[in-house]
Amino acid sequence: MSLSNHEVRCAVASMFDFKFGGAQRRLLYILPPLGFLALAALFWVGLGHDPGLIPSVLIDQPVPEFDLPPLKDDKPGLASADLTGEVSLVNVFASWCVPCRVEHPILMRLAERDDVAVFGLNYKDKPEDAKAWLAELGDPYGRIGADRDGRVGIDWGVYGVPETFVVGRDGRIRYKHVGPLTAEAVAERILPLVEELRR
Amino acid sequence: MRAAALALLLSVAGSAAWAVLPDEVLVDPALESRAREISKNLRCLVCQNQSIDDSDADLARDLRLLVRERLTAGDSDDQAIQFIVARYGDFVLLKPPFKPGTYALWFGPAVVLVLAGIGARLYFRRMARAPRTEAAPLSDDERRRLQAFAEREGEG
A6, A7, A157 member nearest B88 (Cβ) = A157
**What are the angstrom distances between the C-alpha of A198 and each of A130, A163, A180, B90?**
31, 22, 24, 31
Distance of CA B52 to the CA centre of its chain: 18
Q: Is A154's CB within 8 Å of B48's CB?
A: no
Give the mean pLDDT of B123-127.
89
Hey, is the C-beta of A32 within 8 angstroms of any chain B C-beta?
Answer: no
Q: How many domains does chain A have?
A: 2
Instruction: Using an 8 Å CB-CB cutoff, list chain A residues near B136.
Output: none
Does one domain contain both A131 and A163? yes
Q: Is A14's CB within 8 Å of B132's CB?
A: no
Domain hosting residue A132, numbered range: 52-198
What are A177-199's pLDDT values in tens digits?
Answer: 999 999 999 999 999 999 999 98
Does one domain contain both A190 and A148? yes
Does one domain contain both A12 and A93? no
Does one domain contain both A57 and A43? no
What's the confidence (pLDDT) of residue B13?
52
What are A100-114's pLDDT values in tens digits?
Answer: 999 999 999 999 999
pLDDT band at A61 (very low <50, low <70, confident <90, very high): very high
Does one domain contain both A33 and A107? no
A143 contacts A78 by C-beta, under 8 angstroms: yes
Q: Residue A60's domain is classified under what CATH number?
A: 3.40.30.10
Instruction: Using an 8 Å CB-CB cutoff, list chain A residues near B123.
Output: 14
The ipTM of this complex is 0.76
Q: What does the alpha-carbon distance between residue A178 and residue A176 come to, in Å, rounded to a whole number?
A: 6
Residue of B nearest to A11 (CA): B127
Q: Comparing B156 with B27, which gets the higher pLDDT?
A: B27
Hey, is the C-beta of B46 within 8 angstroms of any chain A C-beta?
Answer: yes
pLDDT band at B132 (very low <50, low <70, confident <90, very high): confident
Q: Could you give the residue ranges of the DSSP H alpha helices within A117-190? A: 127-137, 151-155, 183-185
Q: Which residues pair with A146 in a beta bridge?
A: A122
Q: Is A11's CB within 8 Å of B130's CB?
A: no
